[in-house]
């Protein structure tokens, strides 16, 4: 289970948190390696077209350059002058070409990285952040399943209601149940990639992964939709449509959120959608019974 102390340390620099010990560090590093393998198996070189219950759709991709940041590794610092000796002596390079290259170097030299951090009491990784981010990544859907909802996030509404120092500029928050007591929902913040080539302009990419201890603040007065169809595009094309049961499960999940936190219902669906789904699911139950 994720502890409040781990969540408290997530936003700090590696050298500003206590070194957790070699066992914890090895566990976090192992989860990072698993997360990267998961990325390469399910996400790499894949684009997702997601159609929502409000009739809108968006294109989404997790690019290699985003993975390092997603998992909580500070590429900017580790590629800077301060870590020149670390790169040379531990990773065997003077410069790194990009964030994903750094990530692969860290994995290939993980034993030496862990030894370096043990001797220096944690200068490379914030292992608490690594542990939390990897837990979020593992729980999120691989986007071939309909187990996530989408908050069409208005940052100003959030700030007006919370007085928060929230720094993310995410335009959509994909959320999934976490099965964690201290942070019951994991979230992935995505935004349009405004620096991509013109033909890709408008595609959404990952900005952040986080586990809020105050999830109600992210749902309050925000429009929410559920996915109804997912098109997975790689060398082939795989089209998946949510069943009535899957759609109803996501609607019921959102209704539980509204009830638990005493929020106004802001689910964005077509007017007769819920009634249609209930009828379809009931018809399926009758057929199975007979």
Digit-coded pLDDT (tens) for 2-11: 999 999 999 9
Cα–Cα nearest to 185, from 170, 171, 173: 173
Is the pLDDT score of 102 beyond 80? yes
Contacts of 266 (CB under 8 A, 6+ apart): 219, 221, 222, 223, 224
Taking residues 57-68, what's their average pLDDT? 92
Q: Which residue has the tokens 């692969």?
A: 104
pLDDT at site 276: 57
Instruction: Kindly report, residue by residue over 128-150, the tens digit of the pLDDT.
Output: 999 999 999 999 877 878 999 99
Instruction: Report whether pLDDT(63) > 60.
Output: yes
Residue 269: predicted pLDDT: 77
Closest CA to 25 of 141, 123, 125, 170: 125
Q: CB of 268 within 8 A of CB of 225?
A: yes
For residue range 260-274, list pLDDT tens digits in order: 999 999 898 765 455
**Contact indicator for 198, 185 with CB cutoff of 8 Å:** no
Confidence of residue 280 (pLDDT cuts 50, 70, 90): low
Higher pLDDT, 29 or 160: 29
What band does 284 get if pLDDT is binned at 50, 70 and 90?
low
Domain segments of the chain as ranges? 44-65+141-261
Instruction: Please check the confidence at residue 286 and state whether its pLDDT lies above 50.
Output: no
> 279 pLDDT band (50/70/90 cuts)?
low
Query: Please, which pLDDT band fits residue 122 given cuts at 50, 70 and 90?
Result: confident
pLDDT tens digits for 209-218? 999 999 999 9
- Show the tokens assigned to 97: 């070409």
Overall average pLDDT of the 13-33 stretch: 95
pLDDT in tens, 242-258: 998 899 899 999 999 99
Average pLDDT over residues 58-74: 92
What is the DSSP code string of the chain? ---HHHHHHTTS-GGGS----HHHHHHHHHHHHHHHHHHHHHTTT-EEEEEETTS-EEEE---HHHHHHHTT--HHHHTSGGGHHHIIIIIS-S--SSHHHHHHHHHHTHHHHHHHHHHHTSSS--HHHHHHHHHHHHHS--SSS---EEEE--HHHHHHHH--------SEEEEEE---SS--EEEEEEEE-TTS-GGGTT-EEEEEEE--S-HHHHHTT-EEE-EEEEEEESSSEEEEE--HHHHHHHHHHHHHHHHHHT----B---TTHHHHHHHHHHHHHHHHH-
Q: In this predicted model, which residue has the larger pLDDT, 71 or 200?
A: 71
Span 159-179, mean pLDDT?
87
Average pLDDT, the chain: 89
pLDDT (mean) for 211-240: 94
pLDDT surpasses 80 at 202 = no
Lowest mean pLDDT, pick from 163-172, 202-211, 257-266, 281-290:
281-290
* Sheet with 185-192, side-by-side order of all strands: 223-225, 149-152, 172-177, 185-192, 204-210, 57-60, 47-52, 227-233, 237-241
Asked if residues 73 and 133 have their Cβ atoms less than 8 Å apart, the reply is no
């Amino acid at each position: 289970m994720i502890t409040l102390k781990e969540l408290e340390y997530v936003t700090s620099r590696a050298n500003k948190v206590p070194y957790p010990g070699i066992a914890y560090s090895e566990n976090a590093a192992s989860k990072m390696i698993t997360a990267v393998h998961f990325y390469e198996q399910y996400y790499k070189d894949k684009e997702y077209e997601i159609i929502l219950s409000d009739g809108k759709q968006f294109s989404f991709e997790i690019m290699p350059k985003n993975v390092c940041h997603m998992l909580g590794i500070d590429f900017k610092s580790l590629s800077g002058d301060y870590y020149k000796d670390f790169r040379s002596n531990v990773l065997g390079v003077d410069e790194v070409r990009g964030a994903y290259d750094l990530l692969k170097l860290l994995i290939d030299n993980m034993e030496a990285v862990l030894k370096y951090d043990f001797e220096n009491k944690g200068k490379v990784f914030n292992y608490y952040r690594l542990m939390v981010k990897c837990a979020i990544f593992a729980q999120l859907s691989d986007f071939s399943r309909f187990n996530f909802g989408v908050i069409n996030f208005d940052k100003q509404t959030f700030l007006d209601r919370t007085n928060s120092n929230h720094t993310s500029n995410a335009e959509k928050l994909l959320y999934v149940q976490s099965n964690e007591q201290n942070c019951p929902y994991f979230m992935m913040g995505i935004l349009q990639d405004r620096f991509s080539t013109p033909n890709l302009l408008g595609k959404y990419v990952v900005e952040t992964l986080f586990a809020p201890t105050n999830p109600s603040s992210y749902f309050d007065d925000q429009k929410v939709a559920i996915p109804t169809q997912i098109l997975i595009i790689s060398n082939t094309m795989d089209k998946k449509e949510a069943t009535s049961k899957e759609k109803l499960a996501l609607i019921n999940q959102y209704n539980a959120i509204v009830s638990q936190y005493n929020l106004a219902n802001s689910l964005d669906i077509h007017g007769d959608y819920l009634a249609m789904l209930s009828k379809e699911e009931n018809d399926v139950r009758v057929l199975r019974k007979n």
